[in-house]
Structures are given as C-alpha cells and as structure tokens.
Amino acid sequence: MILRINGGKKLCGSVAVHGAKNSVLPIMAASILAEGESVIHNCPDLTDVDVSINILTYLGCKVKRSGDTVYIDSTAMNHSDIPDALMREMRSSVVFLGAILARTGEAVLTYPGGCELGPRPIDLHLMALRVLGADIEEIGGKIICKVRKLEGGRIELPIASVGATENAMLMASRCPGKTVIANAAREPEIEDLQNYLQKLGVGIHGAGTAIITVEGAGEKKIVEHTIIPDRIVASTYALAVASAGGRAEINNVEPRHFATVIDVLKEAGCDIETAGDRLKIACGKHLKAVRPIMTCPYPGFPTDAQPPLMAASLKFEGTTVFVENIFENRYRHVGELRRMGADIRTEGRVAVICGRKTLHGASVEATDLRGGAALAVAALGAEGESRISGLKHIDRGYEKLEKALSELGADAARTE
Ligand code: EPZ
C-alpha cells in the first residue's frame, strides 16, 4: 500500500483529532493494576494499540473493542512474560514491565522495538524499578526481573525520560510507603496516566511538575477513563495547512498541550484562533522562517513535531535552523525530503533548511512514524503527485491519515 498525495492545492476543511497514542499505551499497561475492568474511551485505532491489545490478551486479560472504546478486564491475568515478537513491535511494550512487576512480582521481557531514532536504552527504566525493590538480570537478551520486596523509594532520574517516569509510576502504584520520582518527565501524557491511576485509588500527585509522589494502594476497581487528544497529531494537521496554505478547523484539541507549535506557526505568519477544544488556522502564501527550533522535553518544543515542522518550513521564506536535542538520529526524513527538491543540510544534531525552493511530488519512503508524517506534510505543499511507501510506520500513530487529510480538503488516497 502507498499513500498518494496530489499536492500544490490549498486546504479547506475540518478534522477531529483522535486520542493520544502516547497516553493510551501506558494506560493500557496500567489496566493490569486494576485487577478488574477498565473502560477506555477516545482510544485511537492504531497498530501500536493493536500490539498493546495483543500483549494484554497474551497476559490473560480479556479485551474487547467497540468503536473508540476499549474494555479491558485484567482479573484473570496469568502470565508475567511478554514474547520477544510482541516486544519488538513497539517501544511502549517496555512500560508493561513496571505494571507486570507490581501485579505479579516477576517479569521476563526482551528489549523493545520502536522507531529507529538512534540508541534508545532502557537503563533508567531498570534503575527506577530496582529502587522499588526489583532484582534485574540481563541474560542473553532477556530481562529477568524478580521483586525482593515492593517498597517505595526515591528515584532521581538523570534525564526526564517519559518511559522511565511511566514505569516508575506504574510500579510505585503498588509499593507500600512513599515513592518520590525526581526530575520526572512533565508531558501531558504523564498527567493522563496519573489521572487514570488516581481513579484506581493510587495516591499519586505532582504529574506535570518535576516531582511526582506516589503512595501505593491495592484496590480493585472498575475504572472509566477518556484519553486526552493527541497533541502531535493536532500539530501535524496544523502544519499540513501551513505547508499547503488554506484554512481549516481542527477539533478535539487541547491547545495548551501544543502551545509551542502554535507559537511557531504564529511566528511564521499563520492566523490561529483557539476556543475551547477547537483551533482555527488560516495560512497565506507568504510564511516566513522562524527562530531556531530546539527540541526539548515538555514544555519545550516536542521532538515528535520536529519532522512535520521541518517539512512545513520548506515553504517558509528564509532559513530555519533545527537542533534535535532528544534523539541522536531523528533526521532520517531529510534524504526523502530532498527527493522532493528540499534544500536541507545536516551536521550532527543540527539541520539548516533553506525555504521556498520549488517542491515537486516524488516517490518517497517513510522510515519512522513522524518522519512519515513529515513526508505527507511536504507532499501537500509540493506540485504534483507524491507516492509515500512505508505506511506501517505512519499507521502506528495516525489513524487513517489519508481520510483526515481528505477531510482537510487534500487530494489524498491509500492505494495499492
Ligand atoms: C516517548 O518515548 C515517546 N513515546 C516518544 O514518542 C517521544 O519522542 C519521546 O518520549 C520524547 O518525548 C511514547 O510515549 C510511547 P524518553 P520514550 O525515554 O519514553 C534517553 C512518537 O513519535 N533515555 O523520554 O522512549 C533516550 O535515549 C514517539 O510518538 C536513556 O538514555 O522517550 C532519549 O535520548 C517516538 N535511558 C531521551 O532519554 C533510558 O532508560 C528521552 O527518551 C530512557 C531514555
């Protein structure tokens, strides 16, 4: 399958943003702790969610999906390992580790897969779980964990890692005593996980700040939770409009979650209005280059929006500089963008984009999730037809991207 986009025409339409992938995945892992039923609304239809469903089913949970609601009954969970094939399918498989350990006291996993963005170690995840009482051995590619005694403790993260923060929150949710997670990640998805855990009866506070405290509790509950809107999907749609020009309404958004992206688009010259969960954007032909973009942990500019912003900045008048501070190798889309006529130079973590060169449609390949989204954004602003392959990467994080782009008025279709 390929995504065919006939670009060069203005967008005009409205689209709704689906639930956040990076919220729903840890919350699905957390559902193990409920030892009962979780009803999760606004669950996006993504292949990474399918992988989570497969993991939960393997673990012995009953999972049912109806529209955008997923019902998970974790009462009968009877495994504490995850097969290598499932682990390799996505990075987030590793957040099951903290939840499994908290529930069963043991876990056997292998190293997780996920987007190739440079080395993505899990040393901080393991450090945090050790603080909470896990003995962990790494033998022949297997991570073998056994809990000595669940016990709250103080975890000092040297990097505000999203996944390590989530794993620590999950395991601490069943640890007697108090856990403090210092230098915790502050992403909105961490707050969403906290909200879900609070519904389980866990005394957890501080998400959204650098210090999270957890007082573990062991209640069984039926929990109902609605996933927050996906801020990176919302950003991508807005950047698509910036690339192609035109006007659009983007619904089901939480504007403060992607305020940095909105600010950059305003700086470039887009008109943006927000009201409640709606964003209206109008972009003329003459957008201008913006100040250097440095990706940072939240509330800084998100690394996940860097590739689609780079694609949009190809249409900005002047030179835009990017510094990718989170991942070592997150410029794999650059070579593909050059096939469309982009003038981009990279040196290590820095990329320099010389905007407003004429872009033309081309056959390009998505090699990771947000890099794939960047190709779609660039294709919308390029003259003629682009054919994007490697859709399996895009489908991990965007629900039916071709449909969403068509709702925005694009000539986009998925074809053989
Ligand atoms: C999460 O990945 C997101 N994934 C990523 O989204 C996102 O790019 C990233 O956070 C940063 O915002 C999910 O939430 C499922 P990290 P995660 O641990 O948790 C280093 C997307 O496109 N590090 O915060 O894996 C690491 O190498 C994806 O949706 C260690 O050194 O990111 C990186 O340089 C891709 N040791 C930095 O920390 C560790 O044990 C931040 O990574 C863990 C991380």
Encode pLDDT of 221-271 as tens digits: 789 999 999 999 999 999 999 999 999 999 999 999 999 999 999 999 999
Would the pLDDT of 191 be above 90?
yes
CB 18 within 8 A of CB 229: yes
The pLDDT, as a whole number, for residue 137 is: 94
Rounded-to-integer distance, Cα 257 and Cα 254, Å: 6
Q: Which atom of ligand 1 is nearest to 368's Cα?
A: 22
Testing ligand 1's pocket by substitution, the residue of 49, 96, 120 carrying the most ligand atoms inside 8 A of its CB is 120
315 lines ligand 1 (CB under 6 A): no
Q: From ligand 1's centre to the CA of 327, what distance in Å?
A: 8
Residue 278: what residue type?
A: R
pLDDT tens digits, 32-68: 999 999 999 999 999 999 999 999 999 999 999 999 9
Would the pLDDT of 362 be above 80?
yes
CATH topology of domain 21-226: UDP-n-acetylglucosamine1-carboxyvinyl-transferase; Chain (3.65.10)
Please report which confidence band the pLDDT of residue 113 belongs to, taking 50, 70 and 90 as the band edges. Answer: confident
The pLDDT, as a whole number, for residue 92 is: 86
CA quadruple 74, 75, 76, 80: dihedral, nearest 10: 50
Q: From ligand 1's centre to the CA of 117, what distance in Å?
A: 9
Domain ranges of the chain: 2-18+229-415, 21-226
For 185, the token pair is 């990640």
Considering the candidates 12, 43, 61, 115, report the single residue annotated as catalytic.
115
Would the pLDDT of 128 be above 80?
yes
Q: Which atom of ligand 1 is nearest to 124's Cα?
A: 40
Testing ligand 1's pocket by substitution, the residue of 51, 159, 231, 323 carrying the most ligand atoms inside 8 A of its CB is 159
Would the pLDDT of 357 be above 70?
yes
**What's the whole-model pTM score?**
0.97
Verify whether residue 115 is a known catalytic residue: yes
Per residue, what are the HEC states of the chain? CEEEEEECCCEEEEEECCECHHHHHHHHHHHHHHCCEEEEECCCCCHHHHHHHHHHHHHCCEEEEECCEEEEECCCCCCCECCHHHHCCCHHHHHHHHHHHHHHCEEEEECCCCCCCCCCCCHHHHHHHHHCCEEEEEECCEEEEEECCCCCCEEECCCCCHHHHHHHHHHHCCCCCEEEEECCCCCHHHHHHHHHHHHCCCEEECECECEEEEECCCCCCCEEEECCECHHHHHHHHHHHHHHCEEEEEECCCHHHHHHHHHHHHHHCCEEEEECCEEEEEECCCCECCCCEEECCCCCECHHHHHHHHHHHCCCECEEEEECCCCCCCCCHHHHHHHCCCEEEEECCEEEEECCCCCECCEEECCCHHHHHHHHHHHHCCEEEEEEECHHHHCCCCCCHHHHHHHCCCEEEEEC
Please report which confidence band the pLDDT of residue 115 belongs to, taking 50, 70 and 90 as the band edges. Answer: low
The pLDDT, as a whole number, for residue 112 is: 86
Testing ligand 1's pocket by substitution, the residue of 28, 161, 303, 394 carrying the most ligand atoms inside 8 A of its CB is 161
Rounded-to-integer distance, Cα 195 and Cα 25, Å: 14
Rounded-to-integer distance, Cα 351 and Cα 415, Å: 32
25 lines ligand 1 (CB under 6 A): yes
Q: Is the dihedral of CA 44, 45, 48, 52 positive or negative?
A: positive
Q: Are strands 62-66 and 106-110 parallel, antiparallel or unpaired?
A: unpaired
Same fold, 2-18+229-415 and 21-226: yes
349 lines ligand 1 (CB under 6 A): no
* Lowest-pLDDT choice from 196-205, 213-222, 230-239, 268-277: 213-222
- Considering the chain, what is the average pLDDT of its residues? 96
174 lines ligand 1 (CB under 6 A): no
115 lines ligand 1 (CB under 6 A): yes
For 248, the token pair is 């659009």
pLDDT tens digits, 375-397: 999 999 999 999 999 999 999 99
Residue 342: what residue type?
A: A
Q: Burial letters for 94-110: b for 16+ Cβ neighbours within 10 Å, e otherwise?
A: bbbbbbbbbbbbebbbb
Beta bridge partner(s), residue 399: none
Please report which confidence band the pLDDT of residue 158 belongs to, taking 50, 70 and 90 as the band edges. Answer: very high
The CATH number of the domain covering residues in 2-18+229-415: 3.65.10.10
- Rounded mean pLDDT, 132-158: 95
* Lowest-pLDDT choice from 136-140, 142-146, 150-154, 310-314: 136-140
Q: For atom 22 of ligand 1, which residue has the closest CA?
A: 304
* Chain-centroid distance, C-alpha 236: 12
